[in-house]
Amino acid sequence: MEEKKTDLLSLELPELEALLVSMGEPKYRAEQIFVQMHRGVSPEDMTNIGKALKQKLADTAYFHIPSIEKKLVSAIDGTVKYLFAMRDGNCVESVVMKYKHGNTICISSQVGCRMGCAFCASTIGGKVRDLLPSELLGQIIAAQNDGGERISNVVMMGIGEPLDNYDNVVKFLHLVGNEKGLNIGYRHISLSTCGVVDKINRLAEEDLPITLSISLHASDDETRSSIMPINKKWNIDALLCACRDYFAKTGRRISFEYTLIAGKNDSVAAASKLAELLNRRLRTRSETMPIHVNLIPVNEVSESGFTHSGKEAVDKFAATLNKKGIRATVRRKLGADINASCGQLRRAHEDNKQN
Ligand code: SAH
């Protein structure tokens, strides 16, 4: 059934104003409603709007915040993992991590994913659908209200490829930065991509100074193409070229994710090649682009058959990068006891529904 009702939480303030004016309401009503919706209050529960307007809104529009289908709390570090149910019953995962500098949420951008990375659990069942701006925002509102503490940082590193859901993601970025809403500054937002080059180029033009995080995972095309199908469309060279342009236009640093898979991409030779590649492609002439590489021992997903690199290999890989002037750190693993990464909770939930 096609949705005929307006999704209120996906509207930017001027759009909400136009809607209310078209209903014969004064313009200022929109801001009152906007502010409360972004705190998670449904129009029907708002005390400062009348019965007649509530009825009009209920007839033509809807407001929905994801509901908590499952919640796991790490006994080790307090990391919280949510399985959120959307209005149509589809579920995605979000994770809240507590750092000294504030609470960070990792949100999903799609139900499933069609990028096909060989090591990733989120892509196994393909993509079901894109998430709406309201559903991206809703994950933060729901988690913040449940936790009772402000969430000040957002990483788009959950299920899905954010740049494969470009328009909704950009609209979400405008909404989440609105000072009347969650008011999360762009410098506190990062977006992770497997390398959708045409969209990286578009994003550079948007004047949204977020941090870009690139899932690189290999230092040569043969290896990268064998684990990341996107590399057959845009190879490493094309990707790094887009990164350079992004930095030139936005001045925002770019970080690289590198998942270490035993015997696949974790040799000292691969590390040397990676350092040379990044130095050569991103730091030519007088440019001093800050580069940071996050090393992540692969999370073992039973379907992929990959195993993570041992501590010695990880340390050697990091040391090789650092020696060659590329700052590299090994990602601290949070929520180890609740399997906080990877889209595996949604998969288990889907499997249960089918049995
Ligand atoms: N589609 C986006 C964001 C989602 S994945 C992207 O590709 O960047 C977030 C990060 O987790 C990516 O760097 C991804 O490559 C990595 N990842 C996925 N599966 C993993 C696994 N099993 N172990 C370690 N990292 C993984």
Residue 45 sits in which domain range?
6-62
- Cβ–ligand 1 distance for 190 under 6 Å, the answer no
Give the active site residues.
Answer: 93, 342
Q: Please tell me the total count of domains within the chain.
A: 2
The two structure tokens encoding residue 254: 């770019």
Lowest mean pLDDT among 26-35, 217-226, 230-239, 285-294: 285-294
pLDDT of 100 reads 87
Which pLDDT value is given to residue 231?
A: 98
The full length of the chain comes to 355
How far apart are the CA of 83 and the centre of ligand 1, in A? Answer: 18
Asked, for residue 214, whether it belongs to a domain, the answer is yes
| Domain stops at, among 34, 62, 90 | 62
The residue type of 338 is I
**Which pTM value belongs to this model?**
0.95
Answer whether residue 328 shows pLDDT above 90: yes
Pocket test for ligand 1, best of 93, 109, 115, 120 (most atoms within 8 A of CB): 120
> Are 224 and 291 part of one and the same domain?
yes
1 has pLDDT over 70:
no
Question: Is the residue at 173 inside a domain?
Answer: yes
The answer to whether residue 2 scores a pLDDT higher than 90 is no
| Res 207: pLDDT | 87
Q: How many other CB atoms are there within 10 angstroms of residue 263's CB atom?
A: 10
> Average pLDDT in the 323-350 region?
79
Residues 119, 31: one domain? no
Q: Is 1 inside any structural domain?
A: no
Q: What is the pLDDT of residue 352?
A: 67
Indicate whether 45 and 127 sit together in one domain: no
Q: Is the CB of 93 under 6 A from ligand 1?
A: no
- 106 lies in a domain? yes
Query: Is it the case that residue 6 has pLDDT exceeding 80?
Result: yes
**In this structure, what CATH number is given to the domain that contains residue 54?**
1.10.150.530
Mean pLDDT of the chain: 93
Ligand 1 atom having least distance to the Cα of 304: 22
Q: How far apart are the first and last CA of the chain?
A: 26
Secondary-structure percent of the chain, ordered helix, strand, coil, rounded to 5 = 40, 20, 40
Q: Are residue 77 and residue 53 in the same domain, yes or no?
A: no
144 lines ligand 1 (CB under 6 A): no
| 151 and 227 co-located in one domain | yes
Whether residues 131 and 242 fall in one domain: yes
Residue 333: is its pLDDT beyond 90?
no
**What is the mean pLDDT of the segment spanning 128-148?**
98
Q: Is 168 in the pocket of ligand 1 (CB under 6 A)?
A: no
Span 310-319, average pLDDT: 95
Pair (231, 151) in one structural domain: yes
Which of the residue ranges 44-58, 209-223, 330-344 would you say has the lowest mean pLDDT? 330-344
Q: Are residues 46 and 194 in the same domain?
A: no
Residues 126, 168: one domain? Answer: yes
Q: Is 26 helix (H, G, I), strand (E, B) or coil?
A: coil
The 10s digit of each residue's pLDDT in 280-309 is 988 876 567 889 999 999 988 877 789 999
Q: Indicate whether 333 belongs to any domain.
A: yes
Same domain, 90 and 47: no
Q: Is the pLDDT of residue 339 over 80?
A: no
Q: Scan for tokens 């800050």, then name that residue.
A: 290
Q: Look at residue 216 and tell me if it is in a domain.
A: yes
Q: Is the pLDDT of residue 115 over 90?
A: yes
Q: What pLDDT score does 222 carry?
A: 98
High-pLDDT (> 90) share of the chain, % = 82
Q: Are residues 46 and 147 in the same domain?
A: no
pLDDT, average across residues 148-168: 97
Cβ of 161 closer than 6 Å to ligand 1, yes or no, is yes
234 and 347 share a domain? yes
pLDDT surpassing 90 at residue 341: no
Q: What pLDDT was estimated at residue 285?
A: 60
The DSSP annotation for 104-116 comes to EEE---EEE-SS-
Ligand 1 centroid to residue 54 C-alpha, Å? 42
CATH number of the domain residue 156 falls in: 3.20.20.70
Q: Give the residue, by CA position, lying nearest to ligand 1 atom 3.
A: 157
Answer yes or no: is pLDDT of 63 > 80.
Answer: yes
Residue 221's pLDDT band (cuts 50, 70, 90): very high
**pLDDT for the residue numbered 304:** 79
Average pLDDT over residues 199-217: 95
Choose which residue among 111, 113, 123, 259 to substitute to test ligand 1 binding: the one with the highest number of ligand atoms within 8 A of its C-beta: 259
Boundary (domain end) residue, out of 46, 62, 78: 62
Q: Which are the contacts of 300, defined by CB distance < 8 A and separation ≥ 6?
A: 306, 307, 308
pLDDT computed for residue 277 by the predictor: 95
19 lies in some domain: yes
Contacts of 182 (CB under 8 A, 6+ apart): 38, 137, 140, 141, 144, 151, 175, 176
- Residue of 161, 214, 215, 346 best suited for mutating to test ligand 1, as the one with most atoms within 8 Å of CB: 215
High-pLDDT (> 70) share of the chain, %: 95
- Among the candidates 26, 44, 62, a domain finishes at 62
